[in-house]
Amino acid sequence: MASSVPMPEVADPRPRCDGGLVVGVRCSECATPSAWVVGRCPRCLGQVVPESFGPIGTVWSSANVHVAVGEYTPTYTLAYVDLDGADSIGPRVLAHLRPGGEVPPGTRVEIEGDDGGDLWVVPAGTGA
């Protein structure tokens, strides 16, 4: 007879937004940015300090998705965005683009929010 073992709660891996900025950290030793609040630097295990990133970033890559995932029905666009940091480049995050937009690499985009935990972006200057 199989027994039921309680599963531990897993942290939501999606970046968190606060006032249009992504809340994260930056390593005080190697300057690596992270869009997730972690206790140590993922690159060098150094100490980290809180930092917010965005609200503007640059598209690194994007793709139209033709497969339904959860509540998302095809076709929708996902983009990897390099967020701006306070004094240097911020972390790269995965974001959804509002329907009807195209974002080739190099396009400047603005964080619109984090609907249900997923980041949403629009082309910069179109009114987030």
Choosing among 2.60.40, 2.30.170, 2.40.50, 1.10.10, the CATH entry for 16-123 is: 2.40.50
Kindly state the DSSP code that residue 87 receives in the 8-state scheme. S
Q: Which two tokens stand for residue 65?
A: 């998705």
Instruction: Enter the pTM of the model.
Output: 0.85
Q: What residues does each domain of the chain span?
A: 16-123
Structural contact between residues 35 and 49, judged by C-beta atoms closer than 8 angstroms: no
Note the pLDDT tens digit of each residue in 39-89: 999 999 999 999 999 999 999 999 999 999 988 889 899 999 999 987 888
Report CA Rg, the chain.
17
The answer, yes or no, to whether residue 32 has pLDDT greater than 80, is: yes
